[in-house]
Amino acid sequence: MKYPELYVTPFDFRPRTRVVFGAGEFARLGEVARELGGTRCLLVADPGIVNAGYAPEAIRSLKARRMTVHGFHEFQPNPTSAMAEAGGAFATPLDIDLIVAVGGGSSLDCAKAINFLLSNGGRMRDYWGYGKAARPMLPMIAVPTTAGGGSEAQSSATLVDSETGARMSCGDGKASFRVAILDPKLTTSQPAALASATGYDALSHALETFVTARHTALSECFSRSAWRLISSGFERMLRNPADLEARGAMLLGAHFGGLAVENSNLGAAHACAYPLSGHFGLAHGASLALVLAQVVDWNSSASDGSGARYRELYPGDLPARLRELAEMAGLAANLRDAGVPEGVLPRLADEAATQWFGKFNPRPFNAAAALEIYQAAY
Ligand SMILES: [Fe+2]
């Protein structure tokens, strides 16, 4: 008999982030911050989080534990290196000893970026790549308010280079959050369109990490658990946004998805999605919804392809299920409906081929492959 593949490839894993999960756990922020020894805290939260009332709630919780709190809110979705550097300049004279990030991926990424500058100096460009921080970094707490990219589980910050517009990933093991507080109640206030797009991103992380060339028996634990939580939690959340159990499944699933990305990287769907977001202003999750089913088809169609691997997660027609979920989420079904002109596909494909994630796709991925995927998605 033929034994199934065991994937016992080597890895080096250390859990870096304490995870506190449960409805209402946000109230413990001050207590958790105090345990980390914080006294002068920088609160990084985007303006939407201030308006939603979460930033004032965080400040109350921290001040109740006798902490001084300084808020930084001057940044937008897809934060730029200049925004992070402004945050660094604002916080440098404040002698900060703890950073708290409350919000979506942009708040969390901005907090990580500011941490590089406060603890190691210089400019964001100095940290482009991985492992460039020589000195210890400040302890940080993440409180995600969207269930999506799982930034709270990852040691890299994704920014936009203000000078060139290029996507810049700055990572270091020391840039990991010390604690993540996952409170599903906070995610119920997300606008529906944001919950749909970020949820699809989480779904794609579960799936894409499960088949990458880098996956291990360990990353597989996170991918499987993420898939189980998200594949049913997503539909339930879309049907009833007040379903707190479904929100919890999404938030925890997104966290496991983030851990899976941290331990196995991503693949062709992310490589194809980034140029679409870059040129057509589509949300990251909306771009993924345009290509994920096609990537599953394309990866499965090679003779030694990932078809069997996908069937371990979902025994039915996976591309059909992915399209069904995208439709339920109100995300565009094809590139034409998303407003992408057919003539730009070759140029997008060239760009997709240069994306770092493509290297980890199970089936060798290049510009010709990206074009095939885009054409199937048109
Ligand atoms: Fe993603």
Ligand 1 centroid vs 60 CA: distance in angstroms? 32
Tell which residue, 171, 103, 106, 98, has the closest CA to residue 141: 98
Q: Per-residue pLDDT tens for 147-182?
A: 999 999 999 999 999 999 888 999 999 999 999 999
pLDDT at 5: 82
Ligand 1 centroid vs 211 CA: distance in angstroms? 15
Q: Per-residue pLDDT tens for 181-217?
A: 999 999 998 899 999 999 999 999 999 999 999 999 9
**C-alpha dihedral over 352, 356, 357, 358, to 10 degrees?**
50
For residue 1, pLDDT over 80 is answered with no
Q: Strands of 167-171's sheet, edge to edge?
A: 129-130, 167-171, 156-160
Please list the alpha-helical segments (H only) found in the chain. Answer: 29-35, 47-51, 54-63, 81-91, 105-120, 184-187, 192-211, 217-239, 244-264, 268-280, 284-301, 307-313, 318-328, 345-353, 367-376
pLDDT at 60: 97
For residue 4, pLDDT over 80 is answered with no
Ligand 1 centroid vs 275 CA: distance in angstroms? 13
Q: Per-residue pLDDT tens for 302-319?
A: 877 788 999 999 999 999
Ligand 1 centroid vs 270 CA: distance in angstroms? 6
Ligand 1 centroid vs 193 CA: distance in angstroms? 16
pLDDT at 377: 97
Ligand 1 centroid vs 204 CA: distance in angstroms? 7
> Which pTM was predicted?
0.96
Q: Per-residue pLDDT tens for 33-43?
A: 999 999 999 99
For residue 6, pLDDT over 90 is answered with no
Neighbours of ion ligand 1 (CB under 5 A): 201
Ligand 1 centroid vs 256 CA: distance in angstroms? 13
At residue 242, what are phi and psi to the nearest 5 degrees? Answer: -90, 0
